[in-house]
Amino acid sequence: MKALLILLVATAGIVLLASYIGQLWRRKKGIVEEEESNPEPMGDCCGAHEICEVDLLNKMSEEIIYYEDEDLDAYKNFEENDYNDEQIDEFRDVLYSLKEKEIEGWIRSLELRKIEMPSVIKSELVFMLVKH
C-alpha cells in the first residue's frame, strides 16, 4: 500500500513537472494558449463564488503578491535540486501556513519572482492537491 502511494505521488509529480516544462516551452516558442489570450470568466462562473474570482484575478495579474515569504526572494534563480534541508524547511513553513485557496496564488507569485520550488516541496504540493 505504501509503495502504491509513493508511486501515485511520484507519477503526479512527474505529470506536474512535465506540464510545467511544456508550458515554459510554449511560452518561449511564442505559442499562446487560447485561454491565456482571452482571460474572460467561463460561462459556468456566476461571479458569486470566491474561487472563480480569485482564479481569474490570479491568472490575469502580473502583480507579485507576497504571502509573508519575502525571505524566499534570496532563492531567485536556484534550481530545484540546489536546496539544503534548512532552505527546504523555509518553503515548507510558508506552504503549510497557507490556506487552501491561497496555494495557487503563492505558486504564481513564486513564478513571477523566478523562484523555483525545491523538488521535495513540489511533491508535497502535489500530494496536498490530490488529497483534496
Range of the domain at 91: 40-131
If one counts the domains in the chain, the total is 1
Q: What is the mean pLDDT of the chain?
A: 78
With respect to residue 65, please indicate whether it lies within any of the assigned structural domains.
yes
Q: If residue 112 lies in a helix (H) or strand (E), which one and from where to where? A: helix 103-112
Residue 35: pLDDT band with limits 50, 70, 90 = very low
Q: How far apart (Å, rounded) are the C-alpha atoms in residues 7 and 15?
A: 12
Residue 43: other Cβ atoms inside 10 A: 6
Say if residues 122 and 17 touch (Cβ distance below 8 Å): yes
With respect to residue 96, please indicate whether it lies within any of the assigned structural domains.
yes
With respect to residue 114, please indicate whether it lies within any of the assigned structural domains.
yes
Say if residues 67 and 109 touch (Cβ distance below 8 Å): yes
Q: What confidence score (pLDDT) does residue 1 get?
A: 77
Q: How far apart (Å, rounded) are the C-alpha atoms in residues 119 and 132?
A: 20
What pLDDT digit, counting tens, does each position of 60-86 carry?
A: 567 889 999 999 999 998 999 999 999
- Is 126's pLDDT higher than 60? yes
